[in-house]
Amino acid sequence: MTPDELQTLIDDATFDYAMGEPDRALSKLNCAAEANPDSFAAWHALAEIYFSLRYLDEALHAAEKAHQLDDSDLFINTTLSRIWMERGDKAMAEKYGAQAKILSWKDQLKNPQGQADGIN
């Protein structure tokens, strides 16, 4: 699967989910993750959809895969914090929440102009 085909599949799955077809979306995203196990976007999208459907074990598995691929992504750390909070593990939720906050601060330090313009 080419990078363009992979992105199209992820985009189609996101559209399916937005249109109320979560099973179709999950099928496409699982196909994308299987075809390209190094796709951060596929794993993160899977985590978000599983989380929204309250499939917490599956959400955690997908989020951990995404985190292994890019642990410096603000959003996957936020996703992991939300999943752990729902699972009732406050310590783990706080761990990932703190990491997300640190990443946010780093981003703000790199882009102080965006802050002044109201972009962030």
Average pLDDT rounded to a whole number, residues 97-118: 77
Average pLDDT rounded to a whole number, residues 12-17: 97
* Residue 58 domain boundaries: 3-116
- Structural domain count of the chain: 1
Least confident stretch, 8-12, 94-98, 112-116: 112-116
Residues composing the chain: 120
Structure confidence at residue 4 (pLDDT): 94
Structure confidence at residue 113 (pLDDT): 72
Q: With pLDDT > 70 as the criterion, what percentage of the chain qualifies?
A: 94
Mean pLDDT of the chain: 92
Question: Can you tell me whether residue 36 is helix, strand or coil?
Answer: coil
Phi, psi of 54 (to 5 degrees): 70, 25
Q: Cβ–Cβ contacts within 10 Å for residue 100, how many?
A: 20
Phi, psi of 105 (to 5 degrees): -60, -45
CATH number for 75: 1.25.40.10
Average pLDDT rounded to a whole number, residues 42-54: 97
Structure confidence at residue 94 (pLDDT): 94
